[in-house]
Structure 1
Amino acid sequence: MQSESLFIEKENYQLHLKRFYTTENAPSVFLVHGSIEDGKIFYSKSGKGFAPFLAENGFDVFVADLRGRGKSKPHPSRENNFGMASAFEEDIPDFIAKIKSITGKEPDHWVSHSWGGVHLMAYLAKNEAPNLKSMVFFGSKRDIRVRNFKKLLIVDLLWFGFCTFLAKTKGYLPARQYKIGSSDEAKDYFLEVNKWVRSREWKDLRDGFDYADALQTKAVPPILSITGANDMQIGHPVDCKRLLKEIGDQDNFTFKVIGKKQGYKHDYDHINLLTHRDAKADHFREVLEWLKSI
């Protein structure tokens, strides 16, 4: 397996795209991470993770570092601020164009973790993707309505409370410093994500464009959405399943909970659904077979 770092140079920033592949001219997969994290949710320094796993099994894999995350520079700061729409109106189109320049076509499959799924669907609501064959969501939801103690502690008190205070006072969210995430977040991006998470309607914060309504009128490709049985707050099964309903609940949508009760080795949570050492032999293989069947 080979890997390389690709960079997209813009006027005031640089985007990073990590590629893993064994052979060229293979089906291509585009992976997008969620909030307060970067592309390394899909791979490790030692070459483990979902992205290398796909490459080892015949896919040409491209992992994004959205603006300011990972090796995309500069990182968020009081001086480097940007909004959420930068991800699906600028970064994702630039990544797709870069992939097309390498492979000769837009990516065949899209994969996301957590909020990355919202970015991809927001992009799809306003753009055509004629080459797109399927999508895979790992713990992706658009809003959070579940009620339990972990949600109260992590989402309401930590995320909406303490993290909002940090973002407003420091001019960005220093998630790495406070060990609440692997990547810092721009202030406007963070605050705008919060508005969507809390809203019953999925509308643009600038002009009111209704993303859910637009997606319900489109022929969305097959989606496999999975989440961990122990994900009680960030990607609770109830919230993840509702995202599929919000975008049309088509017959080609498949939803699965990954836990012991469902026959898997562990009750996975929001992060180790992708990072657990047993994931490769447990549910990664199942996702691989689903992708190959499309």
Structure 2
Amino acid sequence: MKSSTLRKWQFSMTGMLSVFVAACLMFGVIRFCSTCEEDAVIDTMRDAGWFVDDYAIYEERIPGWVRVKCRYASSVSVTSFDQSFRKINRRVVVEDTAALHALKRCSHISKLDLSYTDVSEKSLLEATALMQLNTANLSGSPCMTGRVMQELARSKNLGGLTLMDSRLIDDDLIPLSKSESLTSLKVEGEITGSFLSSFGGSNLRDLSIISEELQASTLASLGSTSLEYLSVTCKPSEISINELPRNIRRIVIFYDLPLDQKDRSWLKAAMEKNSVIYADVHPLSKIAEYL
């Protein structure tokens, strides 16, 4: 009698233990399936003062059983201060921060602004979403290197790229000519414009080149492009109007020296070009307002 009771008790305990283990495993599975890693990632970046736009989608982790609402970061901007603040060359520290490590794990970002931060080439190349970007602003950051340009050129989505206040040279920019999606490029550096020879037939619509070394003659390479908006720093009359793209609509030139008769004649001729609806010259101090 006692032996039978003992066996029943042991069986009952084993059964209860089995049910408990099964329940724990089930709870763990449900919790794992209902966890959205990027939720915590977004909160980490916002806690650091970064500006993050996100969107929510429902994901079926276990069809017909576990359906989870997850947030994904779509746009990330580290700073919001104006150009006058940026010109003092003060960079926001992001290297080795929790927010930057969180950014690297984001997989759905389409718009990224890391301008005027100390983000390195290595950190940027480790970002999961690098190949998913639609627009990127890396102005004033040390991550602007030829290697980063090569990686960005591989993106099938990148449409707009801003690289102001940089030390880039023409050779660094040549890889971008391989991008079939790039339509807008704003760049400042030690640039002569020789890189433009590789952009023949590109899909560029909007181009800005800010450089004291820019040679106006190199702009002739744009004649075979579909460019519509052009902003450059050079003497107006040195630009050959007849060699500009036939669809050019807007020409903005930043130039400090007084205009001579040749420059004024050039402006008049530019406005008479069929496609042009705006052509003007502004002092270099106005660059920030236009770009």
Which TM class, normalised by the smaller chain length? 0.3 to 0.5
Please report the TM-score for the alignment, with normalisation by the length of structure 2. 0.33
Q: Which has the higher contact order (CA 8 A, sep 6+)?
A: 1
Which structure's residues are more often strand, by fraction?
2
Please report the TM-score for the alignment, with normalisation by the length of structure 1. 0.32
